Each structure stands twice: as C-alpha cells, then as structure tokens.
Structure 1
Amino acid sequence: MNNIIKYGSISNIPLYNCSLLTAEDWSQNDGRAHYLSGILEFMYGVIVIFLYIPMVAVMTEKEQFKMSCFEMMTYLTIVDIFAIIVNSVITGVLSYQGAVYCSHPTLIYVSGSIGLGLWASSCLVAMLLVTNRLLDFTFKSAANFMFDKNRTFLVLILPTIYGLYFAIFTPPLLYSSKYLGWFFDPFIFQGETAEYYNYPHLANNIIVVAVTCFLYIMFCCALGAEMKNVNTGSESYKRSKQIFIQSVLICGFNLTASLLYVYMNFFEAPYSIVVVAHINWELGHGAPAFIYLVFNTTIRNGVAKKLGLKKSQIAQSESNPQVAVN
C-alpha cells in the first residue's frame, strides 16, 4: 500500500491502472457472477465470526489470559476474524457480484493488502504458538524465559510488524470472480504476470509454514512419547489425542493453502486448484473456531456458559492449558 502514497491514488499506480475500460466493461468482459458460492462464503464468514466472538471473551478471562498460550490464541483469533472478513465476507459479496479488480479497484486493492498482511501475521504467530507448546512440553525453563509474564506481548510485536510489512510493502492479493480466487496479477495487461510476483509471500509460504508444520510434527512426537506412558482410557491420553488431532487439522489447512497459492500465482493452474486453494485459505482462518469447540474443553465449556447453556449439557473436565495448540 506504500504505492498509494507514492502515486497519490490506486488508479495512478502504473501496474494497477484500469483506464483502458470502464468498471462496467471490465466486469462484463472478465467477471463471472457466482450467486451460490457468494452466498455460501458470506454465510460461512458470518458464522465463523459469530463463533469467534464468545471464544475471545473466554480466552481473555483472567484464569486463561494469564497463560501465554491463551494470550497468543487471543491474538491469533483476532487476526483470524479480520482475515475472515476479507476472504469470506467481502469475497462472498464480490463473488455474488461477479467482480474483478478493475470493477472495484479501491476495495479489492486495500482488502487484498490487508488480507495478505493478516495471512503473514497468522503464519508467524502460529509458528510462535507451536514453539510455545513444544517448549512447554520439552524445555519448561526455555518456555518460561521466552513467554513468562509480559514477555508474550513483546513476542507478539514480531508478527504485528511482519504482517504490516506484507500489507504495506509487498504487492497485494487481488480478487477475480472469473477464477474465484485471489491473485497478485490484476489481469489488466496480458503477458505481464511476472511484474506482479510477490517473492516475500513465496518465502513466507515455503519457509515459515514449512517450519511451523515441522514444529507441529515434533510437537506430535512429544505427545506420542507421552501417550505411550499413560493408559489409553485415562483423561491424560484423551487430552493428548485431542491435541494431536487439532495439530494435524490446523497444519493441514495452512500447508495446503500456502503451497497451492504459491503454485497458482507462479504457474497456470486449473480452476479446481484455485477453488481448493481459496477454500483452504478460508479454513485456515475459520476452521479453528470449529476445532476449538470440538476438541478444546476449556473453550467449549466457556463458550457454552457465555451463551447461557446449562452446565449439565456440557462435558465437564478440568482446564488444561496444553490443550491450546492454535
């Protein structure tokens, strides 16, 4: 977004100038209205946001928020809420209207910049969170040194700056209803795709996400070692199994989205790949809401209480901070 300041407006940025045609002509020539998918994306986004709001209230309660993992989970959940607004709510409206970059240049340029920054920030904080969980399992003293007391808030400055860098200083993602996905290429000039490559995004998706998944594997191995020493019917075994499932699901969505988005922005990808990539981007930010409710007892019970459900309807168990993995 620094180019907006440099050139005075989005329309004056040479590579993003849509003056060849009117907004209506761009939409008519390149846009494709997708009414059903637009409605479904919009509804998915609203439902996820509705689920996340009481979760944030639970995470910020004094009992939970004093733990570093819940501080990072709160940060990540807030990032996910804003990301869902971009990749599901706004995207749903754009899909329904059959929009392309040049039909809504300001909205799409700004939304794409913010969405990219939120994705990068969530990738880094996810890596920090699994590092926190891994160290808490294996090197408690190191975990305390890095995350104890107010140090977690200092650590969270890193993903904030990281996300701002992507949002401000790298090319934005731009929506095209023709392909139902977000690309760096606005599809204004033919044969100019290479001019829009976002190499920092490539590095983030390969290095940061790969490292995160590697840490998740180590985390799961640590859990596996612990599970060998407990009875398969014990509460400890059940908690460890739940953590393992959460880790696999969250890592899977993020890894799939990151690799497919790299592929489709550097190579010509079939329509199905683009759709799968976007769905996984949506799930990467939205699926944790459902995963927490299913597998995280602390959050599930807390949300149920916030919504006024009877305690007898909720599975009761003691709060365990190690259940928090994302």
Structure 2
Amino acid sequence: MNNIIRYGSIVAIPLYNCSAHTPQEWSALNGVKRPIVGSLEMAYGMILNLMYIPMISVMLEKENFKMSCYKIMSFLTLIDIFALTVNSIITGFLSYQGAVYCTYPNLIYISGMMGLGLWCCSCIIAMSLIINRLLDLLLPSVGFFLFEGNRTFFVLTLPIIYGLYFVFFTTPIAFSSKYLTWFFDPLIFEGKTQEVQNTNLIEQNSMFQYSNFPHFFNNILVVAVTCCLYMLFCCALGAKLKNVDAGSTAQKASTQIFFQSAMICAVNQVASVIYVSMNFIEVPFWLIVLGHVLWELGHGAPAIIYMNFNKTIRNGVLRKLGDKKGTINQSTTQQSGKRTNVSTVI
C-alpha cells in the first residue's frame, strides 16, 4: 500500500511494471488456463463461506458471545471468510482464466495485500484464542483481567494492527496460474533475481527486492509458538483430567480438544514452512500446490472441525436449520458442560 501512495497507482510501481506486453500477451506467455481446478477452488470457497454463516450466527448469540472465547472465534471466522474469498474464490477465478500478475495487476496486487494481511492477522488471533483458553485453565485470574467483558475487543485490536502492518508496509503476494499459487515475486522480469545478485545491496534493485522478511518471521515464529501453546494446553488439560473416569464426558471433551488442536496446528505449520521455502529456494511443483491447498485448508478446515467436534456450534447450527434434535442436544450439552466444567472450545 505504501508503494501505491508513493507512486500514485499500482501500474506506476517500477518493480510491478507490466508495460512490456498487453494483458492478453502476458497470459499467453506465462499463464496456463486451468478451468477444472479453478472451478473446484471457487466451489470450495463458496461452500465453506456458506457453512461459516450459520456458525458465526451461533457464536454471536447472547449466551455464547458473552464468553471471551466466542468473541475471538467469531472474529477469526470473519477473517477466514475474507481469506477464503481471496485464496479460493478469487484464486479460482484467476486459475480459470489462466491469469498471471500482469493480466489483472490491480486486482491481483490488492488481493495479494489483503490475502497476506488476513493470513498474518489470523495467526495472531489463533494465538490469542489459545492463550485465552490456556489462561482460563491455568491462571483464571489473569485470564479474567485480560479478557473479561469488552477487554477482549481491546486484545483483538492487536491482530488487526498486526495484519494492517503487512497490508501497508510489506511486499504483497502475486498470483501465477502456471504454478497455481501466490509468490512475492510477480514473475514479470525473467531472470531478474539472477541479474541483480551481483549488484550492491544498498541499491534499489537488490536481490531482496521482492523478499518479505516479516512474513518469514510470522510463519516460522508466530505459527510455531501457537502450535507449542496448543500442545501445552492439551497437556495441561490432560493433567487436570487425569483422575476423571475414562469414557466420561470430560474425558471425551479433552480428546476432542486434542484432535482439534493437532489438526489445526498440522495444517498451519506445514503450509507456513512450504510458503517460506518456495519463496527462497526452488521446490517441486507438487509441493507448491500442496502449500497453497494447505493455506486454503487453514482458513476452511475450522468450519469442518467445529461441525464435527464443537457440540455448541453443531447443535446451534442444527437448531437454526430447524432440526428439533439440535435444540434437545443444545440443552443436554449445556447441562453437561455445567457438570464437567470443561470447555470444548479451542
């Protein structure tokens, strides 16, 4: 964003200058039309976003939203909806068209800024969520001080500021239908990186011209710390429930939380490492595609995980869809939750 302000427009940014060819010529030179993959990606994004709508409405219900964890989860769900719009719906459209950066420079540059900012924002929200759950379990007085009532909204300003930093001050990602993913290098100048390796690092055209080191920091440190916190939470919960009878409601809740944590961590961590690697070293095409698919899953998987493991959300959605069993199950879950004092929310 700062370069748009500096140069007055996207097309005027020197490192994103597409004047060498027309958009159609750029697509013909570097793009590959992928109608099947593009259609599948658009369908995936639309279906998951539709799934999220009743879920977020359940989270926003008065009984749930008064809990700090549901405030955080509802905000994370909103971020996931916007992120899926970029990494699945818009990406699917671009794949269908066989587009590269210079085919739709304005759309791709803005989408790249938003996609990067949303991913980094979601990483901090996920960290906030697990810290909230961990404090609730180990240090409830500290958790009360940080998250009680409207204080949760203050905490959520931190991931917003963090995400906006990536939008305004770091290199955006750019799409290539040839590789079915988004790179920091828009792949406009052939051999550009090799040409500038011998230049002075102080010069504008340095070998780091498209690099995004804050993103490297986010993917390696923030995501890794979040996963460690998830594992700590699972260990703490297991220790707290070690004397609970096997097969009890509390024991089942603990197992559900562990599986939710493990699945979310695995998807996000592998996607993070692949995205960092492919922007610095040459990796196989299948690994690039896997990295993008995991990015999509990172924002879409929570919808599936919540419906399978989170009874409050599942029963609430069924109730909104007119299923009477959902209403009965909702009451049963609430009573069970009071008896066991175990939250099935991660």
**How would you bin the TM-score normalised by the shorter chain?**
over 0.9
Of 302, 307, 318, the residue aligned with 2:333 is 318
Equivalent position amino acid for 1:318 in 2? T
Contact 1:31-1:178 within 8 A present in 2 as well: yes
Of 237, 240, 245, the residue aligned with 2:254 is 240
Q: Which has the higher contact order (CA 8 A, sep 6+)?
A: 1
Counterparts of 1:184 and 1:157 in 2: how far apart (Å)?
A: 27
Answer yes or no: is 1:186 the counterpart of 2:200: no
SS of equivalent to 2:131 = helix
1:301 is aligned to 315
The correspondence of residues 137-176 of structure 1 with structure 2, limited to 5 A, is 137-176=137-176
Normalising by the residue count of structure 2, what TM-score does the alignment of the two structures yield? 0.91
Please tell me the root mean square deviation across aligned C-alpha atoms, in Å.
Answer: 1.3
Counterparts of 1:16 and 1:89 in 2: how far apart (Å)?
A: 24
Structure with bigger gyration radius:
2
Answer yes or no: is 1:288 the counterpart of 2:302: yes
Answer yes or no: is 1:32 the counterpart of 2:32: yes
Between stretches 106-115 and 32-41, larger displacement belongs to 32-41
Deviations 1:194-237 (A, max 9, x none): 31000110011111111101101101111221342211111111
Contact 1:223-1:244 within 8 A present in 2 as well: no
SS of equivalent to 1:175 = strand
Counterparts of 2:305 and 2:184 in 1: how far apart (Å)?
A: 31
Contact 2:122-2:159 within 8 A present in 1 as well: yes
Alignment size in residue pairs:
325
Between stretches 301-310 and 17-26, larger displacement belongs to 301-310
Of 256, 261, 271, the residue aligned with 2:270 is 256
Equivalent position amino acid for 2:315 in 1? N
1:268 is aligned to 282
1:213 is aligned to 227
SS of equivalent to 2:333 = coil
Answer yes or no: is 1:117 the counterpart of 2:111: no
1:204 is aligned to 218
2:203 is aligned to none
Counterparts of 1:315 and 1:65 in 2: how far apart (Å)?
A: 19
Counterparts of 1:263 and 1:322 in 2: how far apart (Å)?
A: 37
Question: Where does the alignment leave 5 or more consecutive residues of structure 1 unmatched?
Answer: none
Of 232, 236, 239, the residue aligned with 1:225 is 239
Counterparts of 2:166 and 2:191 in 1: how far apart (Å)?
A: 25
Counterparts of 2:246 and 2:261 in 1: how far apart (Å)?
A: 19
Counterparts of 2:277 and 2:74 in 1: how far apart (Å)?
A: 31
1:99 is aligned to 99
Between stretches 279-288 and 304-313, larger displacement belongs to 304-313
1:85 is aligned to 85
Counterparts of 2:86 and 2:257 in 1: how far apart (Å)?
A: 29
Counterparts of 1:300 and 1:36 in 2: how far apart (Å)?
A: 32
Counterparts of 1:92 and 1:282 in 2: how far apart (Å)?
A: 11
Equivalent position amino acid for 2:28 in 1? Q
* CA pair 314-42 structure 1, distance change in 2 beyond 3 A: farther
Q: Which runs of 4+ in 1 moved over 6 A?
A: none
Contact 2:31-2:100 within 8 A present in 1 as well: yes
Deviations 1:95-129 (A, max 9, x none): 11111001010000000100100001000010011
SS of equivalent to 2:182 = strand
Contact 1:175-1:183 within 8 A present in 2 as well: yes
Contact 1:304-1:314 within 8 A present in 2 as well: no
1:278 is aligned to 292
Identity of aligned residues (%): 59
Question: Where does the alignment leave 5 or more consecutive residues of structure 2 unmatched?
Answer: 194-207
Contact 1:181-1:275 within 8 A present in 2 as well: yes
Q: By how many angstroms is 1:189 displaced?
A: 1.2
Normalising by the residue count of structure 1, what TM-score does the alignment of the two structures yield? 0.97
